[in-house]
Amino acid sequence: MSLFIKLIRNFLGLIIVTLDVLTRGGKKKRPEAEQKAVDIATKDLALYQFFACPFCIKTRRAIYKLNLPIDIRSASEGSPHRAELEQGGGRIKVPCLRIEKNGNVEWMYESSDIIAYLEKRFG
């Protein structure tokens, strides 16, 4: 990919990220005990993402609104998380939610599927 196209993509991504931050609204409010339970439940989740990817921004926005302290991992070139994503999930595609449950790991791709899963589980 040419340098010019990368610059345009990064510039547009930065604009989208800025608009997201400016318009995202508030977080979901829960009673303290319920939020503590959510905090514990999210310790087994990790989102692999690229900072300026529109689908990743959409997913991070849902995570923010649901008030979920999910570990956000960059899958950019040179990142150790990129190798984890490729080895565990089988491909480098973001966003990808790593779900660990009872020692088993599931890799969920597609922003809409991830958001639906999170809303069903924590909404």
Percent of the chain predicted with pLDDT > 90: 67
pLDDT tens for residues 41-86? 999 999 999 988 899 999 999 999 999 999 999 999 889 999 999 9
Q: How many domains does the chain divide into?
A: 1
CATH number for the domain harbouring residue 111: 3.40.30.10
- Going by C-beta distance under 8 Å and a sequence separation of 6 or more, which residues neighbour residue 36? none
Show the domain range for 114.
38-122
Does some domain include residue 20? no
Tell me if the bond preceding 54 is cis, omega within 30° of 0.
no
Q: What is the pTM of this model?
A: 0.86
The pLDDT-based confidence of 10 (bands split at 50, 70, 90) is confident
